[in-house]
Amino acid sequence: MNNQFTFEGKQRTTLIGFIILGAICLGLSFLDNTVPYHMRFWSNFLHNTVFFTGISFISLFVLAAFTTAYGGWYVVMKRVWEAYSQFLIVGLLLMLVIIAGVWGHFHHLYHWAADGITDPNSPAYDPILAGKAGFLNKYWYTFGTIGFIGMWYFVFAVPMRRISVAEDTEGTTDFEHHERYRKFSAFFLPIAAFSSAAMIWQWVMSIDSHWYSTMFAWYSTASWFVSALALTIMTIIWLKSKGYYEQVTDEHIHDLGKLLFAFSVFWTYLWFSQFMLIWYANIGEETIYFKERVTNYPVLWYGNLVMNFVLPFLILMRNSTKRKYGTLILCCLLTFFGHWWDFFMMIKPGAKINADHAYHAAHSAGGDHGHAAHGVQGFVSGFTLPGFLEIGIFLGFLALFLYVVLGQLAKASLVPKNDPYLGESLHHHV
Amino acid sequence: MSAHKEVLYGLYDDEEIMLDAIRVANKQHLDIMDVFTPFPVHGLDPLLGLEESRLHIAGFVYGAIGTLTAFGVMTWIFTRDWPVIFGGKPYWSVPAFIPITFELTVLFASIGMVVSFYTVCGLAPGVVNPVLDDRITDDKFCIAFQTNGLSSSEIDKYSSFLKSTGASEVSSKVI
Amino acid sequence: MSAVVSKIREPLITGGKSYHDITEDLCSPTESVPNATWIFAFVASVGLLTVGLFCIFWTIWFGIGAWNLNRTIGWGWDITNFVWWIGIGHAGTLISAILLLFRQKWRTGVNRAAEAMTIFAVMCAGLFPALHTGRPWFDFFMFPYPNSRGPLWVNFNSPLLWDLFAISTYFTVSLLFWYTGLVPDFATVRDRATGLRKKIYNFLSFGWTGSAKHWQRWEYLSLVLAGLATPLVLSVHTIVSFDFATSVIPGWHTTIFPPYFVAGAVFSGFAMVLTLMIMTRKILSLEDYITIEHIESMNKVILCTGSIVGVAYLTELFVAWYSGYVYEQFAFYNRAAGIYWWSYFGMMACNVISPQIFWIKKFRRNIFITFFMSIFINIGMWFERFVIIATTLARDYLPSSWSYYYPTWVEMGIYIGTFGLFFVLFLLFTRVAPVVAIAEVKSILKTGGDQYVGKNATHAHHHAASHDHGHDSHDDHHAH
C-alpha cells in the first residue's frame, strides 16, 4: 500500500502552467480600468487571497476541533488538512501586497484608508468612519493581518504539523505526541475564534465600510468551511485515483459527504438568519447592503443560493449520492465554486462603490459625491459577474494552493502511522 | 393469520455466538423464523437478509406534504383570503414564511414516520405479543424456527443445530 | 462484528458489567419502594408546585396587573423565565440527536434523562407565554383555524407566531423521539414484572418483542428522527431569538442572535443536565453508567459553548461601538454601567469567566466543582435573558418612560412553581422509567465497558494486524 505521495514533475508543470495563466489574467485585469483605480485587479487579488487563506485557516481549525472532540474516524486523512494549513504562510505573503497598497494608496478597496477621512476639516471627512477609526486604520490592519496569520502559522500550524510528522517515527504507546497535539488544538480554538472574526471584519466587511453585521464573521467562516470540505473530498478522490489512500474507504467519503451536506445547510441557516433579520427590521443603513446586491447583482444573488443550498441539498439528501464519486464530485465543484462566488459577492459590489465614490470625489470636488453608484447599474464584467479573467485568476490561485499542498503532502507519509486513533479510523463504518 | 405457531427456539448468551450460529444456519439453508435480541445487534440485518427499510422515503413524502401545506396555506391566506400588510412588507413575504414552513415540514415528517413505524411493526398501546422468553429483553439472544407441520426428524435437525452452535437453552412453545 | 476502539479511550461503563447487570441496575429503581430522600424531594417539589399554582390562580383571578409589567416593560420575568426554560430544554435533543449523528458514545449514559428533562422544561416554558396573554382560556386563538371572527387569521409574519409553531413542534417531536427510545426499555421492565405492573408496562411498551426487523426499523427511525431533530433544535432557539432580533430595538436587533442564542441554550441545557445527573447518579447509584468520563465530556461542551457565548457577547459589544450608532452604543453602555449593571456583571462572571476553569482537567473531573459550576451557569444564563429583556426595556428610546422593573411576589411565585413542576415530573420519571437507556447502554458495552477497553481491560484480544496498513504499532482493542 503506497502511503508516500510523490509530487511528479508532470503535475508540477501543469500546476505551474495554471499559476502562470492566473498571473497573466491578473495582469490583464490590471489593465481593465472600467471601474477606476484598477479595482478589478485589486478586488480579484483580495478575493482570491482571502478565500484560499481562509480555507487554509479553517483546515487547521477543523483539525483542532476534531482532535479536541476525540474524533477518530478522520485520522487516516488528516495529513490533507495539515498540508492545507501550511498554505497560511503564502496567504500572509499575498496579504502583504494588499497591506502595501493600503499604505501606499495603490488601491481604493477600503474607503476608511482614504486621506482625510478622520479630519473634520477635510472635504473627505466621514463622521461615521472617524468613529470607527480606532479599528479601521492601517496600523490595525497591518498588525492584525501579519500578527494573526503569523500566529496561526508559526505558533500553531507549523508546530502541530511537526508534532504529527514526528509521531510517525518517534510515536510511543504513551501517546505523548498526541497529548501535545491536543494541547495545541485546545488553545487554538478560542484564539482562532476571536482572531479570525477580527480579520474577516477588516479584510472583507470593512469594504462596505459603513455597514455592519454581528453575524458576518461566523457566516463567512461557514463559507470557508464548506469550501475546505469540498476541496478535501476532491483532493482525496484524486489521490485515490492515483493509487494512494486505499485505506480511505467509501465510509470515510460518505462521512465527508454528510459533513458537506450538514454544513451547506448550516451555511444556509446563517445566510437566512442574517438576511431575514436585516430584511425584517428594514433599517436603511443595514438593508442597503442587500438592496445593492439584489438589485444590481441578481445573478450573483440567486446563483449563490442555488449553488450553495438548493442543489447540494437536493443532491446530497440521499445516502447513495454521498457514495457515488460522480455525484459527490459534482456537488463539491458546485459548492467550492459556489462559495468562491459567495466571497465574490461579499467583495465586489462594495469595492466597485468605493472606486466610483473615490473617482467622483476626485473629479467633482465636493458636492453630492457618488450617490449615483447606488442606482441601478449596467453590466460590468468582473463585477456584475465573474468574467474569463476572474476564472483564470481563480484557477491560478487554486493551482498555487495545490502546489503548496501537494509539496507538503510529499514530505510525509499520507497516513499518520502512530496516531492513537488510526485503528479506529481504518475500521470506520458508517 | 394462523391461529397457532409452533416455535422451536434457542437462547444464546452472547450476540457473537448467535451471529456465528446464523452464519451456520445460512450455510445449511435453515429457514429462520425470527431473531429476538435485547438491543440492536450490528451486522444482524445483512445476515438475515433483511431489506433496507423504506421508512426514510415515507418520511420524505410526509415532510414534503408538510412543506406544501404550510407554504400553500400561508400564501392563500395572505394573498387571497385576507391580505394584510404587516410592517410595510409585501403580501407574499417569502422570508417570513420560511420558519413556519420549516417547522411543519419537520412536524409532518416526524409524526408520519412514527405512526408508520408503529403501524408496520404492529405495535400499539394494548397490543399483547407473545413473548418466547422473558429474558430476551434482558441478556438472551434468541433464534426461532417455526415447526408447524414438520416431522420430528426435521425438528430434531433444528434442535441439534441450536445445541451444536452454542445455544444455552433450547425449548419449544406454541404461540 | 468487531469494533476497533483506540487504546487511548477511557471506558464509559465501569464495574465490569454484564448485560444482565445492566438490566438489574437500571430497572431496579422502578421496582423498589422510594427511599426517604426521594420522598422528601417529592414532597418539597409538590410544595413548590402548590405555591406556583396559587400564584397562577391569583394571576388569572386578578389579571395580568398582578405582575409589575407596564407600558414600556411589556416583558419582564415572564419572558425571561420562558427563554430560560426553553434554553434548558435544548440539551436533551442535542445530546440524543446531534451527538447520535456525531457518534459520541458517551451520550448513551445521559440521553434518556436529558430528553425527559427537555420535555419537562418545555412544559414549564410554555406556561409563561400562555399566562402572559392575560386570558389563557382564549389561548387557542393563537392557532390558525377557520373561525367566526372574520375569518381573521393569525399573523404569519410575526415571530411570536413562529415561536408557537416552533415550540409546539419541538415538544411533539421530542416526545415522540423520547418515547420511541423508551419502548424497548419498557419491555425490559415488563418482562421482569408480574401482575398489574406487567399489564401496565405491556401497555406502555406497545407489545415490543425485540424482533430483528423491529430493531432494524427502530434504528432507522431513530437516525432519521435525529436528523430531523438536529435542525429542529437549532430552529427553536433561533426563532426565540427572532422574537427579539426582528425588532428595531437597540441591543435586540443584531444578526448574531440566532447562533448565539442556540449556543447559550446548549450551554444552559448542559448545565441543567449536570445538576440533575450528578444528583441522580448519586441517589440511584448509577456511578458505573454516568462516569467521570461522561461528566468531563459534558464539561467540555460547557466550556466550548460558554466560550462561543463569550465570543458573541464581545462581538455584540464591539460591533455596538463599531456601528457608530448612538442608540446601540447606549444600549450596551446601559447594560454594563446602567441601573441593572449587576445583572450584566452576573452574566459575564457566571457564563464567560467562571467556566474557563474547565480548561484544567482536574476541575473538569471534580464532581463538587462541576455541580457548583452547573448551578452558577444556570444563574448566569438567567441573568443573560434578564439583561436582554429588562435592561433594554427599562431604558427605552423615550427617557420619560424610563423606569425600574422588579417582579411582584406573584411573578416570583410562578417561577418557583415551575421548579416544583419540573422536579415533580422528573422525580416521577425516575420511578416509572429507566433513567438510563438500557438497550443503548447494552449496545455500547463491548466498546465502552471497562472490561473491554481502557487500562484495566481483561477481555481485550491482542490485535495482531489482521489488516495490512503498514506500521500498525499500536495494539488497538478489538472487542468482539
Q: Give the A window 307-336 contacts with B, CB below 8 Å.
A: 317
Whether B134 and C192 lie within 8 Å, measured CB to CB: yes
* Structure letter (DSSP) for residue C397: S
B81 and B47 in a common domain? no
Chain A residues lying within 8 Å of B95, measured CB to CB: 272, 275-276, 279-280
Alpha-carbon distance values, A353 to A109, A297, A373, B152 (Å): 9, 13, 6, 91
Which string of DSSP letters, residue by residue, matches A252-311?
A: HHHHHHHHHHHHHHHHHHHHHHHHHHHHHH--HHHHHHHHHHHHH-HHHHHHHHIIIIIH
Give me the amino acid identity at A122.
S
Q: Does the pLDDT of residue A429 top 80, yes or no? A: no
Q: Give the B window 152-171 contacts with C, CB below 8 Å.
A: none
Backbone dihedral region for residue A276 (phi beyond 0: left; psi -120 to 50: alpha; all else: beta): alpha
- The interface predicted TM-score of the complex, written ipTM, equals 0.93
- Candidates C216, C129, C132, C232; CA nearest to C175 is C232
Whether A282 and B95 lie within 8 Å, measured CB to CB: no
Is residue A430 within 8 Å of residue A322, measured between CB atoms? no
Coil, strand or helix at C374? helix
CATH number assigned to the domain comprising residue B44:
3.30.70
Of B60, B88, B95, the CB nearest to A276: B95
Pairwise CA distance, residues A392 & C64, whole Å: 66
What is the reported pLDDT for A362?
82
Q: Does the pLDDT of residue A372 top 50, yes or no? A: no
What is the reported pLDDT for B175?
80
CATH number assigned to the domain comprising residue C164:
1.20.1630.10
Q: Does A277 touch chain B (CB under 8 A)?
A: no
- Candidates B93, B67, B66; CA nearest to B79 is B93
Q: Which residues pair with B145 in a beta bridge?
A: B8
Give me the amino acid identity at B117.
F
Q: Searching chain A, which residue's CA lies closest to the CA of residue B95?
A: A276
Q: Give the C window 233-252 contacts with B, CB below 8 Å.
A: 235, 239, 242
Read off the pLDDT of each residue in C435-461 and give the average, rounded to a whole number. Answer: 80
- Candidates A323, A327, A324; CA nearest to A255 is A323
Q: Does the pLDDT of residue C480 top 60, yes or no? A: no
**Is C201 inside any structural domain?**
yes
Pairwise CA distance, residues C34 & C27, whole Å: 13
Domain that holds residue A216: 9-230+346-412
The pLDDT tens digits for C291-338 are 888 899 889 889 988 989 999 999 999 999 999 888 999 999 999 999
User: Each residue of C230-254: b (16+ CB within 10 Å) or e?
Assistant: bbbbbbbbbbbbbbbbbbebbbbbb
Q: Give the B window 59-118 contacts with C, CB below 8 Å.
A: 59, 63, 73-74, 77-78, 81-82, 84, 86-87, 89, 93, 96-97, 99-100, 102-104, 106-107, 109-111, 113-114, 117-118
Q: Does C134 touch chain A (CB under 8 A)?
A: no
pLDDT band (50, 70, 90) for residue A332? very high
Q: Does C206 touch chain B (CB under 8 A)?
A: yes
Q: Does the pLDDT of residue C472 top 50, yes or no? A: no
Q: Does the pLDDT of residue C102 top 90, yes or no? A: no
What is the reported pLDDT for C242?
95
Higher pLDDT, A239 or A171: A239
The half-sphere exposure of C107 on its side-chain side, counting CA atoms within 13 A, is 19
**Is B60 inside any structural domain?**
yes
Is residue B175 within 8 Å of residue B130, measured between CB atoms? yes
Q: Give the A window 127-186 contacts with C, CB below 8 Å.
A: 127-128, 131-132, 135, 171, 173, 175, 178, 186
Of B117, B126, B129, the CB nearest to C217: B117
Which secondary structure element, helix H or strand E, spans residue C350, and what is its range?
none
What is the reported pLDDT for C466?
37
User: For chain C, give me the number of helices (H) and strands (E)?
Assistant: 19, 2
Chain C residues lying within 8 Å of B89, measured CB to CB: 157
Q: Based on the structure, what is the number of domains in chain A?
A: 1
pLDDT-flagged residues of chain B (< 70): 1-3
What is the reported pLDDT for C460?
52
**Is C399 inside any structural domain?**
yes
Q: Searching chain C, which residue's CA lies closest to the CA of residue A427?
A: C4
Cell 487554486 belongs to which residue? A398
* Structure letter (DSSP) for residue B40: P
Exposed/middle/buried for residue C36 (C-beta within 10 Å: 0-12, 13-18, 19+): exposed
Determine the distance from the C-alpha atom of residue C452 to the mean position of all C-alpha atoms in its chain, rounded to a whole number: 31
Q: Give the C window 236-255 contacts with A, CB below 8 Å.
A: 238, 242, 245-248, 253-255
The pLDDT tens digits for C128-179 are 999 999 899 999 988 888 888 777 889 999 999 999 999 999 999 999 999 9
CA of A65 to nearest chain B CA: how many angstroms apart? Answer: 29
Of B60, B87, B98, the CB nearest to A272: B98
What is the reported pLDDT for C457?
73
Q: Searching chain A, which residue's CA lies closest to the CA of residue B57?
A: A318
Whether B87 and A272 lie within 8 Å, measured CB to CB: no
- Candidates C418, C335, C341, C348; CA nearest to C381 is C348
What is the reported pLDDT for A430?
66
What is the reported pLDDT for A376?
63
**Is B32 inside any structural domain?**
yes
CB within 8 A of A426, min separation 6: which ones? A76, A247, C4, C467, C469
| Other CB atoms within 10 A of residue A9 CB | 8
Pairwise CA distance, residues C24 & C188, whole Å: 10
Between A and B, how many CB-CB pairs are < 8 A?
A: 14
**Is C2 inside any structural domain?**
no
Q: Based on the structure, what is the number of domains in chain B?
A: 2
Pairwise CA distance, residues C284 & B173, whole Å: 38
Strands B169-174 and C3-5 come out as unpaired
B60 and B47 in a common domain? no
* Structure letter (DSSP) for residue B2: -
Whether A131 and C324 lie within 8 Å, measured CB to CB: yes
The half-sphere exposure of C414 on its side-chain side, counting CA atoms within 13 A, is 30
Whether B16 and C480 lie within 8 Å, measured CB to CB: yes
Pairwise CA distance, residues B68 & B45, whole Å: 35
Whether B87 and A279 lie within 8 Å, measured CB to CB: no
Least confident range from A39-48, A178-187, A361-370, C185-194: namely A361-370
**Is C148 inside any structural domain?**
no
**Is A408 inside any structural domain?**
yes
Which string of DSSP letters, residue by residue, matches A107-166?
A: --S-GGGSTTTT-TTSTT--HHHHHHTTTSSHHHHHHHIIIIIHIIIIIIIHHHHHHHHH
**Is A61 inside any structural domain?**
yes
Chain B residues lying within 8 Å of C159, measured CB to CB: 99
What is the reported pLDDT for A88?
96
Q: Does the pLDDT of residue C463 top 60, yes or no? A: no
Read off the pLDDT of each residue in C67-77 and give the average, rounded to a whole number. Answer: 90
Q: Does the pLDDT of residue C224 top 50, yes or no? A: yes
B116 and B79 in a common domain? yes
Q: Does C161 touch chain A (CB under 8 A)?
A: no
CA of C443 to nearest chain B CA: how many angstroms apart? Answer: 6
Pairwise CA distance, residues A229 & A242, whole Å: 20
**Is pTM beyond 0.90 here?**
yes
pLDDT band (50, 70, 90) for residue C396? confident
The pLDDT tens digits for C252-279 are 999 999 999 999 998 999 899 999 989 8
Pairwise CA distance, residues C416 & C406, whole Å: 16
Higher pLDDT, C3 or C401: C401
Of B50, B55, B87, the CB nearest to C157: B87
Whether B96 and A280 lie within 8 Å, measured CB to CB: yes
CA of B130 to nearest chain A CA: how many angstroms apart? Answer: 34
What is the reported pLDDT for A2?
82
pLDDT band (50, 70, 90) for residue C200? very high
Chain B residues lying within 8 Å of C213, measured CB to CB: 34, 50, 121
What is the reported pLDDT for A371?
47
Coil, strand or helix at C461? strand
Alpha-carbon distance values, C206 to A227, A408, B136, C23, C477 (Å): 47, 58, 16, 19, 38
C-alpha cell at A100: 502595501
| Other CB atoms within 10 A of residue A220 CB | 26
CA of A351 to nearest chain C CA: how many angstroms apart? Answer: 20
Q: What are phi and psi of C13, to 5 degrees?
A: -130, 125
Which secondary structure element, helix H or strand E, spans residue A50, and what is its range?
helix A39-68
What is the reported pLDDT for C473?
39
Chains contacting chain B through 3 or more C-beta pairs under 8 A: A, C
Q: Which residues pair with B143 in a beta bridge?
A: B10, B35
**Is C184 inside any structural domain?**
yes
Whether C216 and B53 lie within 8 Å, measured CB to CB: yes
Q: Searching chain A, which residue's CA lies closest to the CA of residue B42?
A: A429
What is the reported pLDDT for A375?
57
Domain that holds residue C221: 38-143+154-429
- Candidates C173, C163, C314, C174; CA nearest to C238 is C163
Whether A194 and C311 lie within 8 Å, measured CB to CB: yes
**Is A327 inside any structural domain?**
no
- Candidates C184, C175, C382; CA nearest to C267 is C382
**Residues B84, B86, B91, CA angle at the centre, nearest 5°?**
55
Chains contacting chain C through 3 or more C-beta pairs under 8 A: A, B
Q: Give the B window 97-156 contacts with A, CB below 8 Å.
A: 98
Whether C18 and B120 lie within 8 Å, measured CB to CB: no
Q: Does the pLDDT of residue A214 top 70, yes or no? A: yes
Is residue A185 within 8 Å of residue A164, measured between CB atoms? no
Q: Give the A window 84-103 contacts with C, CB below 8 Å.
A: none
**Is C4 inside any structural domain?**
no
C-alpha cell at A51: 478565500
Q: Based on the structure, what is the number of domains in chain C?
A: 1
Q: Does C464 touch chain A (CB under 8 A)?
A: no
pLDDT band (50, 70, 90) for residue C476? very low
B61 and B106 in a common domain? yes
Coil, strand or helix at A194? helix
Coil, strand or helix at C211? strand
pLDDT band (50, 70, 90) for residue A96? very high
Helix axes A39-68, A158-170, angle to 10 degrees: 40
Of C165, C220, C225, the CB nearest to B103: C165
Q: Does the pLDDT of residue C478 top 70, yes or no? A: no
Report the first-to-last Cα separation within chain C, whole angstroms. 7
**Residues A151, A154, A157, CA angle at the centre, nearest 5°?**
95
Pairwise CA distance, residues A283 & B112, whole Å: 41
B73 and B99 in a common domain? yes
What is the reported pLDDT for C150?
72
**Is C168 inside any structural domain?**
yes
C-alpha cell at A34: 472600467
**Is B130 inside any structural domain?**
no
Q: Does the pLDDT of residue A233 top 80, yes or no? A: yes
Of C246, C467, C476, the CB nearest to A280: C246
**Is C269 inside any structural domain?**
yes
Q: Does the pLDDT of residue A365 top 70, yes or no? A: no
CA torsion C375→C381→C383→C386, rounded to 10°? -140
Cell 437462547 belongs to which residue? B11
CA torsion A257→A259→A265→A266, rounded to 10°? -160
**Is B158 inside any structural domain?**
yes
**Is A36 inside any structural domain?**
yes
What is the reported pLDDT for B105?
96
CA of C322 to nearest chain A CA: how many angstroms apart? Answer: 6
Domain that holds residue B63: 55-120
Q: Does C458 touch chain B (CB under 8 A)?
A: no
